[in-house]
């Protein structure tokens, strides 16, 4: 289990926002926690997969994608804020995210 401190939180936010700004060709300033990934930014599920790969490499994690898939059934991600929140939980709990029900 990794302790998620303010530095990691800031890092994750920056990577997520920069990623969507580049992929969706929007100004990073336009992206907020409430931005809907699909309807506001024109993003897609492949981008979600790409981001997971970026973070697993960055934080040297071995994540079974299926645990994230199962977690996302109960905790669907629609906005940038929800995506950042999920990513922080993946970093913190790894494959144990599946047992995280709050």
Partner 1 sequence: MKTAFIFPAFITEYLGNELAILEKLSAVFPEYLLRSSKATGENYINFSVNDPSFTEDELRSQIISYTFSCCLADTLISKGLKPDFLAGYSMGLYAALYAGKAIGFNEGVRLIEQAFLISKQKISGTDAGMGSVIGLTTGEIDEIIGKEVLEVDIANTNSKYAHLVTGRMEDVNRLLETARETGALHVSLLPVKTPYHSRLLAETQHEFRQFINDKVTIRESGYPVISSRDQRQFTSPEEISREFTHNLFQKLDWHTTFKTMLLQDVQHFVECGAGKSLYNISRFVPGDFKVYPMHKIQTLIT
Rounded CA-CA distance 11/29 in Å is 16
Query: Rounded to the nearest whole angstrom, what is the least distance from the CB of residue 14 to partner 1 in the complex?
Result: 19
Work out whether 50 is an interface residue with partner 1 (CB under 8 A).
yes
The answer to whether 75 touches 39, Cβ cutoff 8 Å, is no
Q: Which of 3, 6, 7, 46 binds partner 1 (CB under 8 A)?
A: 46
Under the binding rule (CB under 8 A), the answer on residue 44 touching partner 1 is yes
Residues that bind partner 1 in the complex, under the rule CB under 8 A: 44-50, 52-53, 64-70, 72-73
């Amino acid at each position: 289990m990794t302790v998620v401190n303010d530095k990691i939180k800031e890092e994750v936010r920056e990577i997520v926002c920069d990623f969507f700004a580049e992929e969706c060709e929007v100004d990073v300033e336009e992206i907020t926690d409430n931005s809907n990934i699909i309807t506001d930014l024109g993003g897609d599920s492949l981008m979600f997969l790409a981001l997971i790969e970026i973070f697993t490499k960055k934080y040297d994690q071995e994540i079974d994608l299926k645990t994230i898939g199962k977690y996302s059934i109960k905790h669907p991600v629609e906005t940038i804020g929800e995506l950042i929140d999920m990513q922080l939980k993946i970093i913190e709990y790894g494959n144990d995210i599946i047992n995280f029900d709050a």
